[in-house]
Structure 1
Amino acid sequence: MEKSVKKVAYITGGTKGIGRGIAYALLQNNYRIALSGRNYEMAKEIAQSLGSSDNVLPIQSDVKNFDDEQNAINKIIEHFGQLDVVIANAGIGIFKPVEDLKIEDWHTMIDTNLTGTFYTLKASIAELKKTKGYFISIASLAGINFFATASGYNASKFGVVGFTQAAMLDLRDSDIKITTILPGSVSTYFNNNEPSEKDAWKIQPEDIGELVVDILKLNPRVLPSKIEIRPSKTK
């Protein structure tokens, strides 16, 4: 019997937090992974801590740059020969009242969170068609619930939800499945947080990793298009 080939997943923003949690969960479930970040040395360090070069590929990529994302996909195909799953996780939040929000703050969030998700999908469509693959975007409950000091962040995440849900309809008949995950409070370094015992009530990165694995195990006829996930308690 021919030995099955391990599937390959690409995770943007894979060096810490949710991205790293997803990477670990997929590795534990027999995936090979590529993880990217703006800092190659950090990506390389995390990749080495997770496993061998046969299973983990570090990539430098800034999702705000389409050429970076296209080069990332090319490197994945060159190294692994295929691409089955893409996790668009890279994101940033800058929280200020709108009158204090700088022009560059706005563009950083829109370009990273929204345009970056578009670039990652756009660069990977051709390869995902070949494998009847899966694209998962990590949005936020801030993509359906607005709050003060988050005008730019809300705009970017509302955009991610709208973009990926529409793309899901565009691509479902091309055998590419798309799911948008909307996490609530997660214990990560996001927004200058330092994870500690005070965050024990929050969703943990490994919880999102477990969710991604569960989604990928579903029968191919099933498509959970949008999933909200929040802590079971408020503190």
Structure 2
Amino acid sequence: MGNTLEGKVVLVTGASSGIGEATALALSAEGALVAAGARRVDRLESLVHKAPGELLALDLDVTDQDSVRAAVAKTVERFGALDILVNNAGVMLTGPIAGADTTEWTRMVETNLLGSMYTVHAALPYLLERKGTVLQVSSTSGRFASAYGGVYAATKFGVTAFSESLRQEVTAQGVRVVVIEPGFVATELADHITDPPTRAAAQEMAASMRTLQPEDIANAVVYAVTQPQHVAVNEILIRPTDQTP
């Protein structure tokens, strides 16, 4: 059996729905003290009541470095340390490259890539102190780019590259780096796609299979962060059985 998370302090970004919410609840159930950050703070209030253990709701916008630093500081102020960072905040605004609204590209790069980098940067001093864990929620798109997902894939490939560099820098100091790459998960992610044909295609693909549930990814997170200290689960690729690409 892996280690218990009793008393471990975790910060989860993008915790207002989907994978982030499920992960915050799963880690709380394992005994962790959880700080849950998101822009939709109203949704976090219900999470506070649902969590089995103590949960701190944080107003967090990962694209804003001041917001990120403040969230890390509040976590440490409340719980006295930081052991695990779950970098989950992300947006998927897929669509064709030709004629794209490039403000959506900026939003994806700022949230998915820079946001996760900013959060690592702010949390790292505390994680080094505790020989903690950085867990990055990437995507199958972080390995396989496809048509209409170019910029989203570029951000996720970027997360993978950044994570590997980070791993090489900190692993000898006892900090573990984990990348989890989910395939189709039943979340709100695809609902935010503004290009109608791409949104319809994503919904159609999701409807054609038994999609993963957010809890399936949360279980993978729990597995990775509860391994003995000498075991680093660096990468987990997890798809629905029915997903081919």
TM-score, reference length from structure 1:
0.91
Question: Is the 8 Å Cα contact of residues 6 and 31 (structure 2) preserved in structure 1?
Answer: no
CA distance in 1, matches of 2:165, 2:108: 21
Give a deviation string over 1:132-156, Cα, whole Å, max 9, x none. Answer: 1001000000011111111110111
1:136-147 aligned within 5 A: 136-147=135-146
Query: Which residue number corresponds to residue 56 of structure 1?
Result: 55
Instruction: Report % sequence identity.
Output: 29
Residue 112 of structure 1 aligns to a residue whose secondary structure is helix
Query: Which residue number corresponds to residue 70 of structure 1?
Result: 69
CA distance in 1, matches of 2:42, 2:212: 28
Match of 1:188, as an amino acid? T
CA distance in 1, matches of 2:208, 2:119: 30
Match of 2:225, as an amino acid? L
Query: Which residue number corresponds to residue 38 of structure 1?
Result: 39
CA distance in 2, matches of 1:200, 1:82: 41
Question: Is the 8 Å Cα contact of residues 33 and 56 (structure 1) preserved in structure 2?
Answer: yes
Match of 2:182, as an amino acid? P
Cα–Cα, structure 1 residues 128 and 46, in superposed 2: closer, same or farther, change >3 Å? same
Q: Does 1:10 align with 2:19?
A: no
Over the residues paired in the alignment, what is the CA RMSD in angstroms? 1.9
Residue 98 of structure 2 aligns to a residue whose secondary structure is helix
Question: Is the 8 Å Cα contact of residues 209 and 242 (structure 2) preserved in structure 1?
Answer: no
CA distance in 1, matches of 2:7, 2:134: 17
CA distance in 1, matches of 2:94, 2:178: 26
State the number of aligned residues: 228
Match of 1:27, as an amino acid? S
CA distance in 1, matches of 2:23, 2:161: 23
Give the superposition deviation at 1:199: 7.8
Cα–Cα, structure 1 residues 65 and 26, in superposed 2: closer, same or farther, change >3 Å? same
Question: Is the 8 Å Cα contact of residues 187 and 200 (structure 1) preserved in structure 2?
Answer: no
Gap regions ≥5 residues in structure 2: 193-202
Q: Does 1:185 align with 2:194?
A: no
Question: Is the 8 Å Cα contact of residues 29 and 52 (structure 2) preserved in structure 1?
Answer: no
TM-score, reference length from structure 2:
0.88
Question: Is the 8 Å Cα contact of residues 44 and 59 (structure 1) preserved in structure 2?
Answer: no
Residue 16 of structure 2 aligns to a residue whose secondary structure is coil
1:130-209 aligned within 5 A: 130-192=129-191, 198=207, 201-209=210-218
